[in-house]
Structure formats: structure tokens, C-alpha cells
Amino acid sequence: MRFSLVIPCYNEAANLPLLLERCKALAVTPDFEVVLVDNGSTDSTPEVLEKLLPKFPRCRSIRVDKNQGYGFGIVSGLKAAKGKILGWTHADMQTDPQDALLGLELFEKHGDDIFVKGRRYGRPFMDVVFTVGMSVFETFLLARPMWDINAQPTMFSRRFFESWTTPPDDFSLDLYAYYQAQSYGLKVHRFQVRFGERAHGVSHWNVSWADKLKFIKRTVKFSISLKLKLKGGGAQ
């Protein structure tokens, strides 16, 4: 199989019908699959998936019984995926899963040993300010260009994924993958993706500045530990 797109879903029952419709264009050949991860949802996500998935033969789901974090859900999906090229995006429709088709064009052009990531536009001004601040901090701390870390989709080869040893369970997974790609010597390719409003529901982290502060604290803590590992000769 050529490509697997992993989409973590935590209490996203209302978004699933639209999400699966948008995934149709990805799952048009046997070489593509979409793996939806029910990441310990407490709403009707399991029932909605059971009802809808038979209509989308190249989309399937796995279940994480207890939510252990955004990163844990994604890594669970990546382990279950079958593609030579792997990737993830979000279920909230703020980024379109069909953006992955643009990412795949870069693999066709440059080969499999690259790291591909979206670069968002159309976001609220204060969200852009927040992203710029975090990007500057991470770039100076880790001595690598780390811009718009949480943009999606994120795409890479299975070989690169199999080099990971200690991926984090939370939102730091985006930072981890981006950093490791550069450490692994992969050329990073970015492409523009439109960032819109959630189709339904509210964000599970980006609700208020208090939530942003929690995110900053977790990310800074992980970043510093990553820096210490680097100094100590630690790797993946």
C-alpha cells in the first residue's frame, strides 16, 4: 500500500459524516487508506463510525479504549497503518484531509525520503502571533528551523517512523516528528494549507489563553528535555 492517512478522533461524532465525505478523494484506489483512531471518545463516535464506515470501503478505524493523549492516539494509528508513506491530520475539518493529496505530489517529485508538512494561512491574527512566538523559541532552543509546528498534514516514510523510539503521548508529537526529521537528515518540504473554522464542536486545547498557556508549558518542558538529550548524545 502506498499511503495511509491517520486521523485521531476524540469526541468528533458530529464531524465524522463530513470528514468521511472529504476522505473519499483519498481512498479512491487500493493504494490509499484512511485510518480513523477513536481516541477514547466518550460521545457517540464509536456508534457513528460503526454506522458510516461500511459506506467507505478504504476507510477503517481502530479504538483506543482510554484516552492517553493526542500523540498516543496518532502513534497507535501509525502502528496499525499499512502504507509505505504515512501521515496524519485532524478530524475537526480546520484543515482539509484532501490537503494530503498535495503532500503526496511532493513525494512523487522528490522521492520517499523527505518530510512533508502543511503551512497554515487564514488564521486569526492572535493565533499567528502565538505561533510566531513559539516558532522563534523552538528555533533558538533546538538550533533548527521550527516554523508552524502544529500545521497539518504531517507526512513521512514508514522507514522514518520506524526510527522513532520515544514519541510523546501529547501535543508535543508534532514537535518531536519535525525535530527528528531534521536530525534524521530528511529534507523538509512545506506547502500552504488553508486553516478554517471547526465544522462542529470546540477545540480540545485551543479554547482560551489559559489552554494555550498549558500547551506552552507542556511544549517547553518537552523541548528542554529534548535539548538535554541532544547534549547528552541521546537520539531518537
Query: 12-31 pLDDT, tens per residue?
Result: 999 999 999 999 888 777 89
Q: Are 162 and 85 in contact (CB under 8 A)?
A: no
Number of domains in the chain: 1
| pLDDT interval class at 9 (50, 70, 90) | very high
Q: Provide the residue range defining the domain that includes 81.
A: 3-231
Amino acid at 112: D
Q: What integer is the mean pLDDT of 42-59?
A: 95
pLDDT greater than 70 at residue 201: no
pTM confidence score: 0.88
Sheet holding 114-121, edge to edge: 59-64, 32-39, 3-9, 85-88, 154-157, 114-121, 187-194
The residues facing 155 across adjacent strands are 87, 116
CATH of the domain at 181: 3.90.550.10
**Confidence band of 206 (pLDDT split at 50, 70, 90):** low
Mean pLDDT computed over every residue of the chain? 89
Has residue 228 got a pLDDT over 70?
yes
DSSP H helical segments within the chain, as ranges?
16-23, 45-52, 70-80, 99-110, 125-142, 158-161, 173-183, 209-231
Is 236 part of a structural domain of the chain? no
Q: Which three cell numbers stand for residue 162?
A: 520506524
How many Cβ atoms are within 10 Å of 234's Cβ, its own excluded? 12
